[in-house]
Chain A
Amino acid sequence: DVKVTQSSRYLVKRTGEKVFLECVQDMDHENMFWYRQDPGLGLRLIYFSYDVKMKEKGDIPEGYSVSREKKERFSLILESASTNQTSMYLCASSPAGKAGNTIYFGEGSWLTVV
């Protein structure tokens, strides 16, 4: 069974803290994605990676960075968390050259910044 695992389901962080959200996939997928989900706004792409050590900005990269040192792992980093980054974060993966019909999502990480 395919699996995208987000290690932290619920986090509460203080303003200014550095936050790491970790994602691991076991499907040997080349592509990995980080989305942010907010009510009324749907899913918005923050960053994606199509290979190890490669990264591309999505639609809302400001305030975020990513790291992909190993094929199976894609980390989202908030260098200095702010309250407007309180949200649900979804990680996803897909095989090379494909997206919509072969993309698999993790269960999500709920981040609250106080």
Chain B
Amino acid sequence: GQQLNQSPQSMFIQEGEDVSMNCTSSSIFNTWLWYKQDPGEGPVLLIALYKAGELTSNGRLTAQFGITRKDSFLNISASIPSDVGIYFCAGQAEVQGAQKLVFGQGTRLTINP
């Protein structure tokens, strides 16, 4: 099936540093999404991207939908302790008439205060 490669798998940073993570795929997606999962919780949507080349911000978060529609990145600026968690990218495409989501492997973010 379709697969997404998300990197890095884990990050250990100092509070205040910027963070960058990305996802690539061999398949084209019509929507890219970024989710965050806090410890002990389910994933929650952070940003949705709908057009190739689109750059969208949500506070300190910025994400882009790659021109080729096969990749996306997420940046977090000036990290704070509550940014800790697992970040997932997801690509959405229509498969046999249904909207299907494919998730990346996740990036676990740890922040040293």
Contacts and interface: CB of A to CB of B under 8 A. Distances in A.
A41 B45 CA distance: 19
Nearest to B100: A99
Name the residue in A4, A40, A43, A98 with the highest tally of chain B Cβ atoms < 10 Å from its Cβ. Answer: A43
A22 interface: no
Interface stretch (A11-19, A63-71, A75-83, A104-112): A104-112
A106 B6 contact: no
Contacts of A101: 31, 33, 45, 48
Contact of B99 (A4, A39, A99, A105): A99
B62 interface: no
Contacts of A42: 4, 6, 88, 103-106
B42 A107 contact: yes
A107 B92 contact: no
Contact of A44 (B33, B100, B103): B103
A103 interface: yes
Given A40-B9, A42-B105, A100 B40 contact: no
Contacts of A35: 103
Given A100-B33, A100-B48, A101-B33, A43 B103 contact: yes
Interface of A: 4, 35, 39-45, 50, 56, 59, 90, 92, 97-101, 103-108
